[in-house]
Amino acid sequence: MMFHNRVDAGRRLGQVLQASGLGGDRTVVLGLPRGGVPVAAEVSVALAAPLDVIVVRKLGAPFQPELAMGAIGEDGIRVDNEEVVESSGVSAAELEATARRERAELDRRALRYREGRPRLDLEGHCAVVVDDGIATGSTARAACRVARAHGASRIVLAVPVAPTTTGSAVQDVCDDMLCVARPDPFFAVGEWYRDFTPTSDEEVNELLRRAQL
């Protein structure tokens, strides 16, 4: 299966989520900037649920940036992966320095995307975390953990395409994972899109503005 672009992928993903019974006023759709937001915008329409971004930053291990020692989110949320921290031998001071550095970038991005709007309250809500696909799953894991820390009562990770092995890799951070396609073999998210042009900050902002109307 191949998607024409992120809008097409979002519409197909929305159909899968509708069929699962998701939607309503206790559901919030959270797009991962940048590429996940066009997908999430279509899911938001399909579920008649509000749209927001979930701005997260992984705290990558110094020797392997893709290996997340933890993650940070807005409002000072930080979740540590104790197992990775201990096995990596990173000191508390080094972890704190990494968090401070990433916090500055997170705050910059949140300010740009939100344009003064407060983030949507997740307390007691079902958070549908959406990206344009999953490769390693580390960013998606970080987003799910941050959404939980913000008070979401249920986490659904939803993507158009992911490897067949992803389910077991994220089962400890979400309640459900829904996907349109799980091809095998899987090499990269972009190979499943005819048009995988990078999403700009301006496009993200415009989609979020439209969602407020």
The CATH number of whichever domain residue 144 belongs to comes to: 3.40.50.2020
Structural domains counted in the chain: 2
Q: Above pLDDT 70, what percent of the chain?
A: 100
65 pLDDT higher than 80 = no
- Which domain range does residue 93 map to? 57-114
Measure the CA–CA gap between 71 and 82, rounded to whole angstroms.
12
Same domain, yes or no: 188 and 86: no
Same domain, yes or no: 71 and 162: no
The domain that holds 105 is classified in CATH as 3.30.1310.20
Q: What is the pTM of this model?
A: 0.89
Same domain, yes or no: 132 and 204: yes
Instruction: List, for residues 98-130, the tens digit of each pLDDT value.
Output: 899 999 999 999 999 989 899 999 999 999 999
pLDDT, residue 50, reads 95
pLDDT, residue 113, reads 95
The last residue of a domain, from among 94, 114, 134: 114
pLDDT, residue 168, reads 77
| Mean pLDDT computed over 1-22 | 95
| Mean pLDDT computed over 36-64 | 92
Same domain, yes or no: 42 and 130: yes
pLDDT, residue 24, reads 80
213 pLDDT higher than 80 = no
| Mean pLDDT computed over 5-9 | 98
